[in-house]
């Protein structure tokens, strides 16, 4: 799912070599779940019911896993479930000393070690396998025989380290996106597991991987958002957190990673980017999360940076069973859970580096409102033409959603300009504006300009029951308009307003997209629509202009051409606002409320929103050239 078929070759120069003395690593276990940590976990669970329940749930996962021997005949069939099971079982062994668990771990990692190879042509698999084996090896080390240890170490060297250094097959190492954290991070963890007895190759691997990892990490600057969107940010975060945690426990420091720009706020981005029902995932990322696996590194950063609100905020999104993934053994700290700060923690954040903001009405009431809104830098790795998009949660449902990726095996899915023909990558398939100098028809709305850089301009609150953001989308439509701005404002704890202001030199057709899985019923005058999910009914109303109307657009790209392999988006509606005629100037305002709530009219022009801001007012420069690595992966 997270593969990316495009390789760009970089010419990165790095001056500072990092070196460490592998021969003086501490005894096993040294990767996070040390003897000291075991004692701390046992002591915390005595007085912390939540944690005790999480650990009990993890033991159930372990019991279920050990009931069946691992079976895998090819590394191409690797799945992250194996990582999660090995972690759950090995961690349960650490807590119980019950050899049923260590035996299963030993058998599993020996089986993996005996596979013919670890799928080096898809190095994401190789990396995940070598990390899983390394953690398993380290956590049950005391139960392994000398021969077993040697066999595992030799497998790590021949099936991960040697291929990693082989220049005829390691083009993956030039990736500067999420791949960098996964591949380099997992290899570094493996050097910490076996480097004491294999220090020469461990040195080589560290020299090879660390500078590449270090370069990729620059992209968390300036304020912690990850360039590929929320979902890929959480995926990279799994491996980055485990890498930092392993470095810290094995060496006592993280080789300077936590001092890099933006790194100190990554935990905030991951915490605030998770709404009431799922992530604010734009671009190729999915927004649903079945458990806390992808978010647990937040616990590591919360502890490292003394930010209890991150751990509490993250855990508030999951129930006990969902929180029970193996990172809970090592990234939880009871003392961060009291006092409960959820009622006072900030309910909003904004991130200049990804031009995104989020707001929620409550951390404690998961039926409250949440919205995420972005400008955005379209052409980046995994990007879509989705600048100006929003997602909205209320009462436990998502009312405006972004669709995530289509299949990565679609022809030239990662290559411009073919990428920009696919519905899910196009502007029409996002929740933004499509603007054209001719009348647009469904499934062929105009796109945004792929290289456009669209800053978030302002974020703030008019009072304590509101929050707004304004994005400058001018560059995205600069071939047909003079200026385009979009503002999203949540008002009076009860309604969400979207206002678009467009000025064009010649008359243009403007259409806005809004994707939802709710059942949609448009009123006979086409000025409002009811959106229904289960027993919740929301009402979307057009406030202006008076000739605008709502229309359901076709969302199945396969109705537009034959031999189509794109997702058909069944059950997903695009509730668009259309204008009566082409125009050189328009201000379009829509409001979403729960049906039956009073609609408050609010007609403030966007350029006055900031002066009406009274609380937590945030202003960003217009970022025409956002920070990108030289020759990074772009699609234009
Ligand atoms: C938990 O955090 C507190 C406060 O930061 C710290 O003193 C303590 O050592 C931590 N406990 C563990 C088990 O890491
Ligand atoms: C060890 O764990 C296994 C698997 O859950 C269980 O069946 C067994 O009773 C445990 N042994 C002890 C001594 O607790
Ligand atoms: C590098 O990989 C190529 C292609 O698989 C292989 O032919 C070659 O033997 C490898 N080199 C080393 C040193 O392993
Ligand atoms: C890591 O990158 C930072 C800049 O982001 C640089 O200052 C530092 O020297 C780099 N360290 C290594 C070991 O490459
Ligand atoms: C403006 O650029 C977009 C994106 O490339 C394209 O879809 C649209 O057709 C262009 N409009 C005109 C009038 O050239
Ligand atoms: C909006 O963006 C355009 C294009 O980057 C820029 O020229 C303009 O100054 C920006 N406007 C504001 C108000 O920031
Ligand atoms: C805001 O909502 C409250 C109910 O929650 C209502 O009493 C009040 O009139 C609303 N404010 C405005 C300006 O409509
Ligand atoms: C929406 O609210 C109105 C007024 O409260 C009510 O008459 C109508 O039945 C509601 N519609 C739905 C679909 O619940
Ligand atoms: C749109 O709003 C602006 C203020 O931001 C105003 O000057 C302009 O007259 C409005 N245009 C239309 C067509 O309503
Ligand atoms: C957006 O910023 C990137 C990175 O600096 C730059 O390559 C690109 O040309 C910019 N786009 C435009 C339209 O200026």
**Both 130 and 272 in a single domain?**
yes
At 63, list the tokens. Answer: 């019991």
Whether 1 is in a domain gets the answer no
Reported pTM = 0.96
166 CB near ligand 3 (under 6 Å) = yes
169 CB near ligand 3 (under 6 Å) = yes
Ligand 10 centroid to Cα of residue 544, in Å, is: 33
Whether 235 is in a domain gets the answer yes
User: Looking at 291, 320, 344, which one is the last position of a domain?
Assistant: 344
User: In the structure, which protein residues have their CB atom closer than 6 angstroms to any atom of ligand 6?
Assistant: 457, 472, 474-475, 622, 624
**Both 539 and 430 in a single domain?**
yes
**Both 413 and 492 in a single domain?**
yes
162 CB near ligand 3 (under 6 Å) = yes
User: In the structure, which protein residues have their CB atom closer than 6 angstroms to any atom of ligand 1?
Assistant: 40, 303, 306, 333, 335
Mean pLDDT in consecutive groups of 10 residues from the start of the chain, 636 residues: 42 59 97 98 98 98 98 98 98 98 98 98 98 99 98 98 98 97 98 98 98 96 97 98 98 97 98 98 97 98 98 98 98 98 97 98 96 96 98 98 98 97 98 98 98 98 97 98 98 98 98 98 98 98 98 98 98 98 98 97 97 98 92 87
Number of domains within the chain: 2
User: In the structure, which protein residues have their CB atom closer than 6 angstroms to any atom of ligand 7?
Assistant: 492, 494, 598, 600
**Structure confidence at residue 632 (pLDDT):** 87
**Structure confidence at residue 630 (pLDDT):** 87
Phi and psi torsions of 589, nearest 5° = -125, 130
Whether 455 is in a domain gets the answer yes
- Tell the residue nearest (CA) to atom 1 of ligand 4: 214
Ligand 6 centroid to Cα of residue 622, in Å, is: 6
- Tell the residue nearest (CA) to atom 10 of ligand 8: 595
Ligand showing the shortest atom-to-Cα distance for residue 628: 10
- Tell the residue nearest (CA) to atom 13 of ligand 7: 600
d(C-alpha 238, C-alpha 215), whole Å: 18
**Structure confidence at residue 16 (pLDDT):** 56
Scored b (16 or more CB within 10 A) or e, 350-368 reads bbbbbbbbbbbbbbeebeb
Ligand 2 atom nearest to CA at 101: 2
d(C-alpha 9, C-alpha 84), whole Å: 33
Query: What are the beta bridge partners of residue 628?
Result: none
**Both 160 and 131 in a single domain?**
yes
- Tell the residue nearest (CA) to atom 14 of ligand 6: 622
Ligand 1 atom nearest to CA at 334: 1
Whether 141 is in a domain gets the answer yes
Helix axes 230-251, 178-194, angle to 10 degrees: 20
**Both 361 and 321 in a single domain?**
no
Q: What is the CA radius of gyration of the chain?
A: 25
Mutate to test the pocket of ligand 1, among 33, 34, 44, 303 (most ligand atoms within 8 A of CB): 303
Give all strands (DSSP E) within 437-559, no chain letters: 453-454, 456-461, 467-472, 483-491, 495-512, 515-516, 519-522, 528-533, 536-544, 549-553
Ligand showing the shortest atom-to-Cα distance for residue 585: 9
Mutate to test the pocket of ligand 5, among 479, 481, 506 (most ligand atoms within 8 A of CB): 479
16 CB near ligand 4 (under 6 Å) = yes
605 CB near ligand 9 (under 6 Å) = yes
480 CB near ligand 5 (under 6 Å) = yes
Ligand showing the shortest atom-to-Cα distance for residue 37: 1
535 CB near ligand 8 (under 6 Å) = no
d(C-alpha 209, C-alpha 184), whole Å: 5
**Structure confidence at residue 502 (pLDDT):** 99
Scored b (16 or more CB within 10 A) or e, 81-97 reads ebbbbbbbbbbbbbbee
**Both 297 and 385 in a single domain?**
no
**Both 274 and 389 in a single domain?**
no
Mutate to test the pocket of ligand 10, among 625, 629, 632 (most ligand atoms within 8 A of CB): 625
CATH of the domain at 124: 1.50.10.100
CATH of the domain at 386: 2.70.98.70
C-alpha 304: how far from chain center:
21
User: Looking at 291, 319, 344, which one is the last position of a domain?
Assistant: 344
Ligand showing the shortest atom-to-Cα distance for residue 584: 9
**Both 61 and 181 in a single domain?**
yes
**Both 539 and 498 in a single domain?**
yes
- Tell the residue nearest (CA) to atom 3 of ligand 2: 100
**Structure confidence at residue 5 (pLDDT):** 41
User: Looking at 313, 344, 375, which one is the last position of a domain?
Assistant: 344
Q: How many CB atoms lie within 10 A of CB 324?
A: 24
At 191, list the tokens. Answer: 């050097």
d(C-alpha 51, C-alpha 57), whole Å: 10
Whether 3 is in a domain gets the answer no
Ligand 9 centroid to Cα of residue 586, in Å, is: 7
Whether 15 is in a domain gets the answer no
Mutate to test the pocket of ligand 7, among 368, 492, 593 (most ligand atoms within 8 A of CB): 492
d(C-alpha 251, C-alpha 361), whole Å: 42
**Both 153 and 120 in a single domain?**
yes
**Structure confidence at residue 633 (pLDDT):** 87
User: In the structure, which protein residues have their CB atom closer than 6 angstroms to any atom of ligand 10?
Assistant: 451-453, 475, 624-626, 628
Phi and psi torsions of 508, nearest 5° = -130, 160
- Tell the residue nearest (CA) to atom 12 of ligand 8: 537
**Cα separations (Å) of 491 from 345, 472, 591?**
20, 21, 10
- Residue 148 belongs to what domain range? 22-344
**Structure confidence at residue 13 (pLDDT):** 44
3-class SS at 454? Answer: strand
Are residues 288 and 318 in contact, defined by beta-carbon separation less than 8 angstroms? no
Give all strands (DSSP E) within 102-256, no chain letters: none
Whether 9 is in a domain gets the answer no
Ligand 9 atom nearest to CA at 605: 5
Scored b (16 or more CB within 10 A) or e, 255-282 reads bebbebbbbbbbbbbbbbbbbbbbbbbb
**Structure confidence at residue 19 (pLDDT):** 81
d(C-alpha 294, C-alpha 292), whole Å: 6
Instruction: In the chain, count H helices and then E strands.
Output: 15, 20
3-class SS at 521? Answer: strand
**Both 331 and 360 in a single domain?**
no
Any idea of the CA torsion for 225, 226, 227, 232, to the nearest 10 degrees? -140
Mutate to test the pocket of ligand 10, among 448, 479, 624 (most ligand atoms within 8 A of CB): 624
Mutate to test the pocket of ligand 4, among 214, 215, 216, 627 (most ligand atoms within 8 A of CB): 214
**Both 335 and 363 in a single domain?**
no
56 CB near ligand 5 (under 6 Å) = no
587 CB near ligand 9 (under 6 Å) = yes
Are residues 419 and 382 in contact, defined by beta-carbon separation less than 8 angstroms? no
Ligand 7 atom nearest to CA at 600: 14
């Amino acid at each position: 799912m997270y593969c990316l078929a495009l390789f760009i070759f970089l010419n990165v120069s790095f001056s500072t070599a990092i070196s460490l003395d592998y021969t003086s690593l501490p005894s096993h276990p040294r990767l996070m779940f040390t003897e000291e940590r075991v004692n701390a976990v046992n002591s915390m669970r005595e007085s912390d019911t939540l944690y005790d329940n999480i650990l009990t749930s993890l033991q159930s996962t372990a019991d279920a896993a050990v009931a069946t021997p691992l079976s895998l005949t090819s590394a191409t069939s690797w799945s992250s479930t194996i990582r999660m099971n090995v972690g759950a079982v090995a961690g349960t062994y650490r807590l119980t000393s019950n050899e049923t668990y260590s035996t299963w771990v030993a058998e599993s990692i020996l089986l993996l070690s005996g596979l013919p190879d670890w799928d080096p042509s898809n190095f994401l698999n190789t990396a995940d396998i070598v990390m899983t084996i390394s953690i398993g090896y380290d956590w049950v080390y005391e139960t392994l025989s000398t021969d077993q240890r040697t066999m595992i170490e030799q497998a790590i060297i021949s099936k991960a380290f040697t291929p990693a250094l082989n220049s005829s097959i390691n083009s993956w190492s030039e990736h500067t996106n999420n791949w960098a954290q996964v591949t380099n991070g997992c290899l570094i963890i493996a050097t910490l597991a076996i480097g004491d007895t294999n220090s020469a190759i461990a040195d080589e691997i560290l020299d090879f991987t660390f500078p590449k990892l270090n370069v990729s990490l620059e992209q968390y600057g300036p304020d912690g958002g990850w360039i590929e969107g929320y979902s890929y940010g959480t995926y990279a975060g799994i491996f980055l957190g485990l890498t930092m945690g392993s470095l810290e426990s094995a060496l006592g420091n993280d080789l300077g990673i936590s001092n890099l720009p933006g790194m100190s706020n990554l935990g905030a981005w991951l915490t605030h980017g998770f709404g009431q029902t799922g992530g604010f995932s734009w671009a190729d990322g999915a927004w649903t999360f079945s458990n806390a696996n992808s978010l647990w590194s937040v616990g590591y950063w919360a502890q490292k940076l003394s930010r209890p609100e991150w751990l509490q905020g993250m855990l508030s999104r999951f129930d006990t069973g969902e929180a029970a993934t193996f990172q809970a053994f090592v990234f939880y700290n009871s003392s961060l859970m009291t006092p409960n700060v959820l009622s006072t923690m900030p309910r909003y954040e904004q991130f200049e580096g990804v031009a995104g903001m989020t707001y929620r009405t409550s951390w404690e009431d998961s039926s409250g409102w949440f919205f995420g809104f972005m400008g955005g830098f379209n052409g980046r790795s995994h990007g879509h033409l989705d600048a100006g998009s929003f997602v909205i949660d209320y009462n436990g449902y998502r009312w405006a959603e972004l669709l995530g990726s289509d299949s990565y095996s679609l022809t030239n899915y990662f290559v411009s300009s073919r990428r920009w023909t696919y519905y899910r990558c196009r502007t029409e398939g996002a929740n933004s504006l499509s603007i054209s100098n001719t009348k647009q028809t469904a499934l062929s709305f105009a796109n945004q300009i792929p290289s456009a850089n669209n800053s978030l301009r302002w974020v703030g609150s008019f009072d304590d029951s509101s929050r707004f953001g304004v994005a400058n989308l001018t560059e995205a439509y600069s071939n047909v308009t003079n200026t385009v701005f979009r503002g999203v404002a949540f008002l009076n704890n009860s309604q969400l307003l979207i206002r678009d202001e467009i000025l064009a030199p010649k008359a243009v057709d403007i259409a806005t997209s809004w994707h939802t899985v709710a059942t949609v019923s448009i009123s006979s005058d086409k000025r409002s629509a009811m959106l229904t999910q289960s027993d919740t009914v929301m009402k979307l109303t057009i406030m202006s202009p008076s000739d605008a109307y709502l229309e359901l657009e076709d969302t199945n790209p396969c109705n537009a051409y034959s031999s189509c392999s794109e997702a058909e988006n069944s059950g997903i509606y695009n509730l668009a606002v259309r204008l009566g005629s082409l125009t050189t100037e328009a201000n379009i305002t829509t409001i979403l409320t729960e049906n039956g709530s009073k609609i408050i009219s609010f007609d403030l022009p966007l350029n006055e929103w900031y002066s009406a801001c009274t609380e937590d007012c945030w202003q960003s420069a217009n970022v025409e050239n956002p920070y990108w690595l030289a020759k990074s992966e772009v699609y234009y």
